[in-house]
């Protein structure tokens, strides 16, 4: 139905109906100068999704035209992110640097047409000559150099005869244009630097606004889908493909970026956090990079659901991070085994349970998904429970353990609290209780009811593990930046619990295995720090949130 299609689909439909193109080819063109964040996922999935929808092709291409900031590490991380999200580029992996010779030939072609010239002005002088939105630009004194001289100087730039910044090549367009991007932009600069892909083969490099349209045209891209900040650059994009006389020029269409509230996505800030060891890398689970979300335990399906819910529009807006958390909860609630883990343990002794006895109890792996089956868990006289599941003097409506109160131990028995032991400082060290053998879970017991159910692990067979609880890396109450532009870091962004006790089966968890820990949230085995038999679990998300999905987005 026409009304349900977003504006990019409508524009592609028109192009196909009018014969502008007879197929669709899109691309994802990141610069390999950092790790991708969740906003990039929208671009990846949008471009890939359009190619799939129209039976077309999707290319993966690195815009690696700036060797000052690019690293092979970033190339590898981006490829891992794109593949993880499920965007299949098949064998179509390209680099802008693959086309450096073609870009050079295009520049020479423009010089010969009188559409480009070598300029000796410094970067500061070029900026001054360009003017601003209230001041028209002025022609460079080198704008009317003869074609032959421009060709010679450009060749000498390529041959390494000039220092960085000494000369540039500029497009000759219109210094009086109301669009500053069209005021004779620089299209080539001298940079004596090694490139991660081409080594020292070049000492001149094309500017992004010149390189990008050529890359698209060479690859046969039909629709160059990019974010709104490139809208003012579209006239230059069109000028390049037109003046370079490509037979089937691509069309640029812009859409709104994906912004998350109170989340750091800027590469400059993340780079500093990494360098200052505030985080343990670009994939630290407290960050919003795709690699960080993957390490934290987010699934590709949850990211795709999130991007679908955000939608495609022309208007910039911010999305509550709670929506992303909603998507991972929805994805995991039927997939994840629900296990028992005690994060802040205190011992519970059932005084009338036979000493030395262990019985195996049956527990469903997921009450909402019977296909995940059942498991056996050990139960004995001594257990671990959460410390906050016992109080000596409870407030009203506290239904867990306190002297004289009876609760159900999940999948086990009713127990009645009889008291506790304390250390010299008054801290509770042991809780005591008695059990009723007739109340075994699954036995058909239909007697009295209890209001509280608590989880537990058997003390003898429990595995001691480390669990990590994450909060936002920034203090949301203060905003991302302080008055001086520094990050308002949250000192509670990471809580490490080293004495957690979990079911014995969790000792076999492998990297990226995900579980729901009863009452404590969804957790994932950390791929960096987990070892065989000694997993480290990080909380993906808590079980509940105050966030509600706006009407119409479900």
pLDDT tens-digit map of 330-373 = 999 999 999 999 999 999 999 999 999 999 999 999 999 999 99
* Least confident span in 427-431, 473-477, 502-506, 510-514: 473-477
- The burial of 151, by beta-carbon neighbours within 10 Å (0-12 exposed, 13-18 middle, 19 or more buried), is given as middle
pLDDT tens-digit map of 265-279 = 888 889 889 999 999
Q: What is the pLDDT of residue 485?
A: 79
pLDDT tens-digit map of 276-317 = 999 999 999 999 999 999 999 999 999 999 999 999 999 888
Other CB atoms within 10 Å distance of the CB of residue 532: 9
Residues whose CB falls within 8 Å of the CB of residue 490, separated by 6 or more in sequence, listed in order: 471, 472, 473, 474, 475, 476
Residues whose CB falls within 8 Å of the CB of residue 155, separated by 6 or more in sequence, listed in order: none
Which residues on neighbouring strands pair with residue 541, listed in sequence order?
Answer: 522
**Residue 552: pLDDT over 80:** no
- The burial of 278, by beta-carbon neighbours within 10 Å (0-12 exposed, 13-18 middle, 19 or more buried), is given as middle
Does residue 99 or residue 271 have the better pLDDT?
A: 99
Any idea which residue has 């073609």 for tokens? Answer: 102
Q: What is the pLDDT of residue 2?
A: 47
**Residue 87: pLDDT over 80:** yes
**Residue 385: pLDDT over 60:** yes
366 token code pair: 């997921």
Q: What is the pLDDT of residue 1?
A: 39
Residues whose CB falls within 8 Å of the CB of residue 368, separated by 6 or more in sequence, listed in order: 333, 334
Rounded (10°) angle between helices 147-158 and 100-112: 160
Does residue 262 or residue 106 have the better pLDDT?
A: 106
Other CB atoms within 10 Å distance of the CB of residue 235: 16
CATH 3.40.50.620 is the classification of domain 2-255: yes
- The burial of 384, by beta-carbon neighbours within 10 Å (0-12 exposed, 13-18 middle, 19 or more buried), is given as buried
Q: What is the pLDDT of residue 68?
A: 84
CATH T-level assignment (fold) for domain 341-455: Ribosomal Protein L25; Chain P (2.40.240)
Between CA 191 and CA 206 the distance in angstroms is 10
Q: What is the pLDDT of residue 220?
A: 97
What's the angle, vertex CA 224, arms to CA 223 and CA 228, rounded to 5? 125
Residues whose CB falls within 8 Å of the CB of residue 382, separated by 6 or more in sequence, listed in order: 347, 348, 349, 350, 458, 459, 460
Other CB atoms within 10 Å distance of the CB of residue 65: 24
Q: Which of 502, 491, 413, 503 is nearest to 450 (CA)?
A: 413
The answer to whether the 2-255 and 257-340+460-554 domains have the same CATH topology is no
478 confidence band (pLDDT: 50, 70, 90): confident
Q: Return the domain boundaries, the chain.
A: 2-255, 257-340+460-554, 341-455
Q: What is the pLDDT of residue 380?
A: 98
Q: What is the pLDDT of residue 434?
A: 98
**Residue 554: pLDDT over 60:** no
551 confidence band (pLDDT: 50, 70, 90): low
71 confidence band (pLDDT: 50, 70, 90): confident
Does residue 157 or residue 66 have the better pLDDT?
A: 157
pLDDT tens-digit map of 170-227 = 999 999 999 999 999 999 999 999 998 999 999 999 999 999 999 999 999 999 999 9
CATH T-level assignment (fold) for domain 257-340+460-554: Ribosomal Protein L25; Chain P (2.40.240)
Average pLDDT, the chain: 94
Between CA 169 and CA 153 the distance in angstroms is 9
Q: What is the pLDDT of residue 476?
A: 80
Which residues on neighbouring strands pair with residue 35, listed in sequence order?
Answer: none
Q: What is the pLDDT of residue 262?
A: 84
Between CA 32 and CA 87 the distance in angstroms is 18
**Most confident residue range from 271-280, 470-479, 481-490, 513-522:** 513-522
Q: What is the pLDDT of residue 422?
A: 96
pTM greater than 0.75 (yes/no):
yes
For residues 529-553, average pLDDT: 84
549 confidence band (pLDDT: 50, 70, 90): low
């Amino acid at each position: 139905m026409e009304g349900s299609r977003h504006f990019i689909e409508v524009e592609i439909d028109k192009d196909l109906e009018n014969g502008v193109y007879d197929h669709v080819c899109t691309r994802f063109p990141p610069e390999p100068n950092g790790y991708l964040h969740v906003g990039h996922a929208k671009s990846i999935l949008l471009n890939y999704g359009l190619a799939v929808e129209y039976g077309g092709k999707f290319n993966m291409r690195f815009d690696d035209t700036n060797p000052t900031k690019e690293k092979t590490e970033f190339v590898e991380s981006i490829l891992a992110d794109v593949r993880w999200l499920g965007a299949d580029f098949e064998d179509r992996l390209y680099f802008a640097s693959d086309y450096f010779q073609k870009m050079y030939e295009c520049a020479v072609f423009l010089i010969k047409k009188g559409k480009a010239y070598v300029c000796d002005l410094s970067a500061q002088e070029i900026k001054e000559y360009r003017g601003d939105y209230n001041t028209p630009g002025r022609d460079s004194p080198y704008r009317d150099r003869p074609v032959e001289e421009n060709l010679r100087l450009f060749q000498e730039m390529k041959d390494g005869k000039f220092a960085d910044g000494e000369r540039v090549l500029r497009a000759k367009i219109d210094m009086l244009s109301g669009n500053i991007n069209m005021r004779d932009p620089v299209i080539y600069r001298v940079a004596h630097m090694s490139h991660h892909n081409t080594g020292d083969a070049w000492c001149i490099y094309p500017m992004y606004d010149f390189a990008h349209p050529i890359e698209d045209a060479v690859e046969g891209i039909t629709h160059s889908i990019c974010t709104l900040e490139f809208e003012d650059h579209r006239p230059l994009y069109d000028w390049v493909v037109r003046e370079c006389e490509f037979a089937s020029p691509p069309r640029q269409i812009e859409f709104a970026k994906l912004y998350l509230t109170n989340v750091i996505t800027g590469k400059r800030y993340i780079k500093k956090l990494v360098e200052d060891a505030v985080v343990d890398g670009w994939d630290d689970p407290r960050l919003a990079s795709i690699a960080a979300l993957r390490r934290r335990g987010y699934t590709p399906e949850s990211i795709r659901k999130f991007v679908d819910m955000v939608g495609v529009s022309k208007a910039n807006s911010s999305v509550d991070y709670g929506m992303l958390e909603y998507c991972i909860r929805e994805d995991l609630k039927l997939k994840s085994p629900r296990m028992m883990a005690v994060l802040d343990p205190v011992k519970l002794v059932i005084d009338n349970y036979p000493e030395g006895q262990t019985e195996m109890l049956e527990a469903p792996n997921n009450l909402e998904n019977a296909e995940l089956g059942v498991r056996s868990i050990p139960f004995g006289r001594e257990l671990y429970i959460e410390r906050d599941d016992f109080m000596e003097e409870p407030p009203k409506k506290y239904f867990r353990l306190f002297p004289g109160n009876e609760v159900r131990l999940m999948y086990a028995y009713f127990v009645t609290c009889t008291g506790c032991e304390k250390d010299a400082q008054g801290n509770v060290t042991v809780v005591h209780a008695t059990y009723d053998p007739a109340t075994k879970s699954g036995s058909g017991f239909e007697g009295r009811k209890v209001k509280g159910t608590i989880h537990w692990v058997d003390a003898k067979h429990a595995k001691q593990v480390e669990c990590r609880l994450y909060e936002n890396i920034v203090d949301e109450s203060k905003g991302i930046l302080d008055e001086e532009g520094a990050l308002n870091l949250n000192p509670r962004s990471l809580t490490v619990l080293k004495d957690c006790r979990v079911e014995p089966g969790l000792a076999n968890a492998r990297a990226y295995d995900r579980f729901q820990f009863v009452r404590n949230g969804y957790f994932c085995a950390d791929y960096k720090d987990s070892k065989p038999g000694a997993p480290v679990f990080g909380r993906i998300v808590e079980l509940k949130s105050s966030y509600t999905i706006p009407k119409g987005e479900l």
